[in-house]
């Protein structure tokens, strides 16, 4: 057939032309084999990239092997061009241990630091912000590297796309955003995805250069991306590239292509990137028929040989201990003793000092959040930090919680640490997806730590209304892979924050706003650590166990101060995940009664789980039902008299006395 693509090899030598051909041919032949295996039931699912190989291969060959690429479902050519052993890819698709996720995730939902590839998650958009974080690390370390990240035209409809491009532009990050416009997001055509003529047009709105390339022309892709990558290495900035291409098969094989007009499929089949390039190389006398046959024979042999290795590999044996041990990266706590010199500090001062000392200790720690730089944050916790550490490490962010959590994840992938300040804990909803689906699951999925602390100013009692008063810890204690810390005192907050930053796992660090300036305590002035997962026994007694945290600790202390006849164990949990169940059980077995106080509304809160744990593990020792006390089942009201009625604070004493009398 006559080539329907116009090629211009420019100064590309014949050796590179042949390599481009080989690198496109290999994923095509692997896919053809996988489609057979899919029909035989030997793999569970397949997302075809047939017709789009030139993009994956051209971009990957244009980048250096140490530069990160964040591909999608249809970018098999990224993985094969980076020379990942095929038996490992085949094991991955068969859910075997020699893959990259130990059978825990499928297809291309994995990453590998060995090959500098960071795979996608099904939510698509988060990887764009993650690319920002990796590029930020490159910028901060002056590596002069570019990061390439892929998405489809459908993914550009997600908020993550807009947030990531905006952040990259504001911070001038060295990212190439690669949009594969293949005509359909599953069955939804582009005309139902966006109204602008081209996706590349959006680059103007973010103040970045943008280009449209023929995604089926391997020479155009390779030469243009090579030129852009070299330019970005010298002058860091983001670039948006739209690749015009087409998906020749279904979104995944089960969905088919019945919704695609036949004439459209026929037209694009004439632009097959592999077939056209093969014909071009023959015409240019770069590729002989003998060479072509030999290349294909080598690839067939490689596929079959590696398939046998994957088939011969033992199936994974489920092991509960193994699964549980991989949810978190192992963290060996190292205790740093507090010195004898102390100073009376408010909770807010202790957090600020602890954060400052961690910045001094960890040169690779970056703080990000709205208004945290010169302004010092809305609570002034980072006041003076810019002067001490510079704007590169203390970064004001646009209002884009999702992209900033993702960028923090990217920093972690690139070997750095990040602290993200949510201006208010309520606003984490705008970044919820990357917290619970990216940070929480990365280590379990592909052994990648998420070295991120998210600071969460939270809580009622300050007449701030429904959107600035929530204490939403239960959203995260439910999610395996996250740690949740909730101190009530300055001493605890400073030591626990230091440990949270040391810990390579993602930590949600709750700071009660009403306690910021109302609670004072003598606090060691030097750096020290406290272990996560250890409760504090504030009072000892034999009549009842009071279990609480955060503001609830001070409500309970106030109640006991006013009722000195009550002889109680008072447990300040401090850490909600991990939870100190040993301290809880030991106390309840001693007292025989337990009451759990939380500020959050009752249903679905952590008090419910603690109650269930006590019932399961201490039932024989109980002299009364476990009691939970929590706030009303309403959003948090603004005006004082309604907020006072809402809070559990006013209900606790009555419930405590009733349980004592049971």
Annotated catalytic residue 468: yes
Task: Check: CB of residue 64 under 8 Å from CB of residue 147.
Answer: no
Cα 410 to Cα 134: distance, rounded to the nearest angstrom: 4
Please count the other Cβ atoms lying within 10 Å of the Cβ belonging to residue 335. Answer: 11
Place of tokens 């970045």: 208
Q: Collect all residues with Cβ–Cβ distance below 8 Å to 243 and sequence separation of at least 6.
A: 55, 178, 179, 180, 181, 213, 214, 215, 221
Place of tokens 């400052």: 356
Beta bridge partners of 577: 484
By CB neighbour count within 10 A (0-12 exposed, 13-18 middle, 19+ buried), where does 4 fall?
middle
Task: Check: CB of residue 637 under 8 Å from CB of residue 467.
Answer: no
Task: Check: CB of residue 554 under 8 Å from CB of residue 561.
Answer: no
Given the DSSP bridges, would you call strands 175-181 and 147-152 parallel, antiparallel or unpaired? Answer: parallel
Residue 600 DSSP SS3: strand
- Give the rounded distance of the alpha carbon of 219 from its chain centre: 35
Tokens found for residue 169:
């532009």
Residue 77's alpha-carbon distances to 80, 271, 507, in angstroms, are 5, 18, 35
Cα 115 to Cα 140: distance, rounded to the nearest angstrom: 22
Picking from 128, 272, 253, 90, the residue whose alpha carbon sits closest to that of residue 186 is 253
Place of tokens 């103007």: 204
Cα 134 to Cα 452: distance, rounded to the nearest angstrom: 14
Give the phi and the psi of residue 403 in degrees, each rounded to 5.
-65, -30
SS (HEC) of 484-528? EECCCCHHHHHHHHHHHHHCCCCEEEEEEHHHHCCCEEEEECCCC
Please count the other Cβ atoms lying within 10 Å of the Cβ belonging to residue 326. Answer: 16
What is the layout of strands, in order, in the sheet containing 365-369?
394-396, 365-369, 417-421, 452-458, 507-512, 483-485, 575-577
Cα 373 to Cα 385: distance, rounded to the nearest angstrom: 7
Give the phi and the psi of residue 624 in degrees, each rounded to 5.
-160, 160
Cα 250 to Cα 612: distance, rounded to the nearest angstrom: 47
The one catalytic residue among 73, 109, 162, 468: 468
Beta bridge partners of 344: 522
578 preceded by a cis bond (ω within 30 of 0): yes
Tokens found for residue 101:
């996720």
List residues with catalytic annotation: 468
């Amino acid at each position: 057939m006559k080539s329907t693509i116009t090629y211009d090899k420019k100064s590309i030598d014949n050796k590179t032309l042949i390599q481009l051909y080989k690198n496109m041919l290999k994923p095509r032949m692997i896919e053809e084999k996988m489609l057979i295996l899919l029909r035989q039931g030997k793999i569970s699912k397949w997302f075809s990239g047939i017709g789009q190989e030139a993009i994956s291969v051209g971009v990957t060959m244009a980048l250096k092997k140490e530069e990160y690429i964040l591909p999608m479902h249809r970018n098999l050519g990224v993985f094969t061009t980076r020379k990942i052993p095929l038996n490992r890819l085949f094991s991955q698709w068969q859910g075997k241990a020699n893959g990259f996720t130990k059978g825990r995730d499928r297809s291309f939902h994995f990453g590998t630091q060995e090959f500098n590839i960071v795979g996608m998650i099904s939510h698509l958009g988060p990887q764009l912000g993650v690319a920002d974080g990796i590029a930020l690390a490159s910028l901060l370390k002056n590596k002069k590297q570019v990061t390439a990240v892929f998405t489809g035209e459908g993914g550009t409809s997600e908020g993550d796309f807009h947030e990531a491009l905006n952040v990259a532009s504001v911070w001038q990050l060295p990212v190439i955003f690669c949009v594969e416009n293949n005509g359909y997001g599953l069955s939804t055509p582009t005309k139902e995805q966006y109204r602008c003529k081209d996706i590349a047009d959006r680059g103007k709105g973010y103040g970045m250069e943008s280009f449209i390339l023929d995604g089926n022309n391997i020479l155009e892709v390779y030469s243009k991306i090579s030129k852009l990558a070299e330019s970005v290495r010298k002058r860091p900035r983001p670039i948006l590239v739209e690749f015009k291409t087409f998906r020749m098969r279904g979104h995944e094989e089960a969905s088919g292509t019945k919704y695609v007009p036949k004439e459209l499929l026929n037209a694009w089949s004439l632009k097959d990137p592999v077939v056209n390039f093969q014909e071009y190389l023959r015409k240019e006398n770069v590729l002989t028929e003998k060479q072509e046959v030999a290349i294909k024979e080598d690839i067939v042999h490689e596929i079959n040989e590696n398939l046998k290795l994957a088939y011969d590999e033992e199936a994974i044996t489920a092991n509960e201990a193994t699964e549980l041990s991989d949810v978190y990266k192992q963290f060996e706590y190292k205790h740093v003793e507090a010195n004898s010199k102390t100073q009376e500090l408010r909770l807010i001062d202790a957090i600020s000092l602890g954060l400052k000392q961690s910045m001094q200790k960890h040169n690779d720690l970056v703080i990000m959040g709205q208004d945290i730089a010169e302004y010092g944050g809305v609570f002034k916790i980072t006041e003076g930090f810019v002067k001490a550490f510079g704007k590169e490490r203390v970064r004001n962010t646009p209002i884009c919680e999702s992209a900033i959590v993702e960028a923090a994840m990217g920093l972690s992938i690139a070997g750095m640490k990040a602290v993200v300040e949510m201006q208010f804990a309520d606003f984490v909803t705008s970044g919820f997806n990357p917290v619970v689906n990216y940070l929480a699951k990365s280590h379990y999925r592909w052994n990648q730590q998420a070295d991120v602390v998210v600071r969460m100013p939270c809580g009622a009692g300050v007449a701030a209304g429904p959107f600035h008063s929530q204490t939403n810890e239960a959203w995260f204690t439910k999610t395996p892979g996250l740690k949740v810390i909730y101190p009530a005192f300055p001493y605890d907050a400073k030591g626990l924050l230091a440990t949270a930053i040391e810990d390579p796992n993602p930590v949600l660090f709750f700071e009660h706003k009403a306690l910021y300036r109302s609670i004072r305590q003598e606090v060691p002035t030097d750096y020290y650590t406290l272990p996560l997962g250890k409760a504090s026994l504030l009072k000892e007694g034999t009549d009842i166990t009071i279990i609480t945290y955060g503001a609830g600790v001070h409500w309970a202390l106030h109640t006991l101060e006013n009722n000195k006849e009550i002889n109680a164990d008072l447990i300040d949990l401090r850490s909600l995940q991990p939870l100190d169940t040993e301290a809880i059980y030991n106390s309840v077995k001693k007292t025989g009664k337990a009451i759990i106080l939380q500020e959050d509304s009752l249903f679905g809160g952590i008090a419910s789980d603690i109650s269930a744990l006590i019932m399961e593990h201490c039932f024989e020792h109980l002299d009364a039902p476990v009691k939970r006390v929590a706030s009303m089942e309403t959003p948090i009201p603004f005006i004082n008299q309604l907020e006072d009625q809402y809070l559990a604070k006013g209900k606790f004493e009555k419930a405590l006395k009733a349980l004592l009398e049971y």
